[in-house]
Amino acid sequence: MIDDFPLFPESASTVSGSVDALYFFLIAVCGAVSLAVVVLIIFFAIKYRRTASNQIPEHYEEHKALEIGWIIAPLFPMMIMFLWGAKVYFTIARPPDNALEVYATGRQWMWKFQHVGGQSEINELHVPVNRAVKVIAASEDVIHDFYVPAFRVKTDVLPNRYSTTWFQATKIGRYHLFCAEYCGTQHSGMIGWVTVMEPAAYQQWLAGGVNEGSPAAIGKSLFEKYACNTCHNAQSGARGPALDGAFGKPVSLRGGAVVRRDENYLRESILNPQAKIVEGYEPIMPTFKGQVNEAELIQLISYIKSLGAPVGAGGPATPDKGSGVSAAPGASAQPGSAASPSLPAVQPGVAPGPDGRGAAAGAEPSASGSAVREAKQP
């Protein structure tokens, strides 16, 4: 009977043990303090109770040592909570570099998952056991929340930016996936499952699933369709920054700011190219807001992330000044291609970061914007 009503969800990830230990420590400290307060209240109420109706209270001098003690004593458990909590937080907030990436899109009232190999799922997510999985999520409408109790991971999924979380499942099985943010009348029905499989079984599942084409491959087609490569290329004098090898690197903006080319930066550059202008380029790229949907944004960003550095070119150790995302994404891979008018401005030197959810450089070099316009002209 008790098995049907567990007090705590199953622990099935590498971080769940750390989260539980911190949680139980907080409960123990709070319980001990609460108990001490109750005991002292009862003790003092009895010891210092009035024994006669005309009794006058005695005067007591301040006890400096006692006052200092009860101020300093709580500092130690509080600092333990802070440092321990910070350690757990940073562990959850920083996905491993070799994590398997999965894109998640939340909308009323369902989850869609897109694997890098092209497989897609609705309200189901298949992952291999003992392998770090990084979930890059965005919402198409309202705020949602990606929550898997057994993995102790929970992150808000917001419109207009990417949120990132990760987990490494340690047990094979099926685990509940919830939306933990009220998102409308059918919020309670926005649920799903995470299926953890043996690596061999996972590979079989990948091979047997419906493959719509990898996001990067589809993104390349979109990049060419919108003529983004007209501006974003490695040729001398290109009107948009080159995108080859740009992802994850810093880029210098007008005004002296330096940002990281992550997913959020690329997204912003596509949808709001004037937000961040790469140094050395003019803000001529048009917005692609309303022309590309959430799935196409994922595909374009996946393509830009897949672009390696040009042959013989070494990645700059300092921020690039002429390689941000300014024209349409994907342009850097093909010299001479123009920034696409339908694609958001993505500045070539500005690559999307693994966790960036809204960090795209919106302002584009002058080349990219003009290229986009030219691409639309007959």
| Structural domains of the chain in order of their starting residue, each with its CATH number | 1-35+65-213 (2.60.40.420), 217-376 (1.10.760.10)
Answer positive or negative: Cα dihedral of 80, 82, 85, 90. negative
SS3 call for 284: coil
Instruction: Say whether the peptide bond before residue 205 is cis (omega within 30 degrees of 0).
Output: no
Q: Has residue 358 got a pLDDT over 60?
A: no
**Rounded to 5, what percent of the chain is helix, strand, coil?**
35, 25, 45
In the chain, pLDDT over 90 holds for what percent of residues?
38
Write the DSSP symbol of residue 347.
E
Q: Has residue 237 got a pLDDT over 80?
A: no
Provide mean pLDDT across the span 316-326.
45
Identify which has the larger pLDDT, 2 or 246.
246
Instruction: Say what angle helices 263-271 and 294-306 make with each other, to 10 degrees.
Output: 120
In this prediction, residue 168 has a pLDDT band, given cuts at 50, 70 and 90, of very high
Q: Has residue 229 got a pLDDT over 80?
A: no
Identify which has the larger pLDDT, 359 or 130.
130
Q: Has residue 52 got a pLDDT over 80?
A: no
pLDDT at 8: 82
Identify which has the larger pLDDT, 43 or 347.
43
Provide mean pLDDT across the span 50-54.
76
pLDDT at 274: 82
Per-position b or e across 272-298, b if 16+ CB within 10 A of its CB: bbbbbbbbbbbbbbbbbeebbebbbbb
Task: Return all residues near 248 (Cβ < 8 A) that are at least 6 apart.
Answer: 260, 261, 262, 351, 352, 353, 354
Q: Has residue 339 got a pLDDT over 60?
A: no
Identify which has the larger pLDDT, 173 or 2.
173
Range of weakest confidence among 91-105, 277-291, 300-314: 300-314
In this prediction, residue 372 has a pLDDT band, given cuts at 50, 70 and 90, of very low
Angstrom distance (rounded) from CA 302 to CA 135: 14
The answer to whether the beta carbons of residues 373 and 228 sit under 8 Å apart is no
The answer to whether the beta carbons of residues 175 and 12 sit under 8 Å apart is yes
Identify which has the larger pLDDT, 350 or 41.
41
Q: Has residue 91 got a pLDDT over 90?
A: yes
What are the pLDDT digits (tens) for 118-151?
888 999 999 999 999 999 999 989 999 999 999 9
The answer to whether the beta carbons of residues 327 and 232 sit under 8 Å apart is yes
Q: Has residue 115 got a pLDDT over 80?
A: yes
Identify which has the larger pLDDT, 146 or 353.
146
Highest average pLDDT, of 18-32, 231-245, 286-300, comes from: 18-32
Average pLDDT, the chain: 78
DSSP for 109-166, written as a single string: TEEEEEETTSBEEESEEEEETTSEEEEEEEESSS-EEEEEGGGTEEEEE-BTS-EEEE
Angstrom distance (rounded) from CA 228 to CA 223: 5
pLDDT at 201: 93
Which pTM does this prediction carry?
Answer: 0.69
Angstrom distance (rounded) from CA 86 to CA 305: 30
pLDDT at 327: 42
Highest average pLDDT, of 193-197, 218-222, 306-310, comes from: 193-197
Residue among 220, 222, 225 nearest 376 (CA): 225
pLDDT at 319: 52
What separation in angstroms does the CA of 249 have from each of 94, 307, 315?
17, 13, 9
The answer to whether the beta carbons of residues 146 and 177 sit under 8 Å apart is yes
